[in-house]
Amino acid sequence: MKTASKLDKVILLAMTLAAVAMVFTPALASAQGVPPVVWTKSAFPFDNGQAPSVAISGLVIVEVREDTSGGLWSLTGKIQEDGSVKWATSPSQYDSGYAPSIAITGNTVIEVHQAGTGEGELMYHTGKLAIGGKVIWAASSSKYDDGLAPSVAVAGQTVIEVHQAGSGVGPLWYHTAEIQMNGDVVWNQGGSFKYDNGVAPSVAVAGSTVIEVHQAGTTEGPLYYHAAEIQANGSVVWATSAFKFDNGLAPSVSASGPTAVEVHQAGSGVGALWFHTVALQSDGTVKFSGSARYDNGVAPRVTVAGPTILEVHQAEVGSGALYYHAAAY
């Protein structure tokens, strides 16, 4: 990972300071029972890379991404009172692989990724948030499954992960795990189970409610959501079918309490990024708002913690500048 030059750091510092005076723009997308989301007027660059993923614990942010040589890097930040993010001065490499996804519960970090560029071993890597927000990563990662495009979410001690079986439209699988008191992750020994068909799944969990989003095909087209409930014995009961909620590519979803936020890109290149708010009902039903545009870019990923929303995305196709965009409701 290229280290920022002195000039780069000055530019990034100026961008961060500019965030102090940023103007908030109200959004239109609001599901019934969910307050309107207010995004900052613009996004701000924070580093370079591709395929970013992000998670929040309190005010601490942990972001992961890949480089062009198969290195996986993490960067931490802290949300300021004005909604801007104060990032660490530089990222650190924690592993090797591709397509990382990250989640946090308390001070436990869990990350999943592909071992290679195509279908094959899926690995998980754990870490601990130390005082000051630094992540102390385990010495190595371990295999938990096989597949492609993993996504992970966690609520309390329960972990749920989803992935594709292959590179085209086909089975989508979920795999559950439990975080132990010592921070170890114990995966369901029964393996993973099919719950749907599609491409590019993303999963979120709030309490016992699971919401998953995915593409119906490999190109721009219908986006579907699939809801589920985690049972007292740790099993997951999925709704009998998925439902269309929009059109696009690369959907990402995150949940906190009764609210979820979904983001996606409009087309295959750099272009409009859109979001939905989602009300998670007590009876297990899901209500999506209409969509609203909030930015431009590629490969958006979102995280929600309480009223705080943080999204990261690439500015271009392939490795390049990474931006963050903050919001609240």
Asked if residue 242 belongs to a domain, the reply is yes
Share of the chain above pLDDT 90, in %: 74
Structure tokens at 197: 């068909």
CATH number at residue 237: 2.120.10.70
Q: Which two tokens stand for residue 250?
A: 């690369």
Residue 17 lies in a domain: no
Compute the mean pLDDT over every residue in the chain, rounded to the nearest whole number: 89
- pLDDT for 10 equals 35
Other beta carbons within 10 angstroms of residue 101's beta carbon come to 27
Position 7 in a domain = no
The total domain count for the chain is: 1
By residue range, what is the domain housing residue 80? Answer: 23-328
- Give a yes or no: residue 171 inside a domain: yes
Encode pLDDT of 269-286 as tens digits: 899 999 999 998 777 778
What pTM value is reported for the model?
0.90
Is residue 14 one of the residues assigned to a domain?
A: no
Structural domain contains residue 270: yes
pLDDT digits (tens, 9 = 90+) for 84-97: 899 999 999 999 99
248 located within any domain: yes
Asked, for residue 104, whether it belongs to a domain, the answer is yes
- Judged against a pLDDT cut of 50, whether residue 47 lies above it is answered with yes
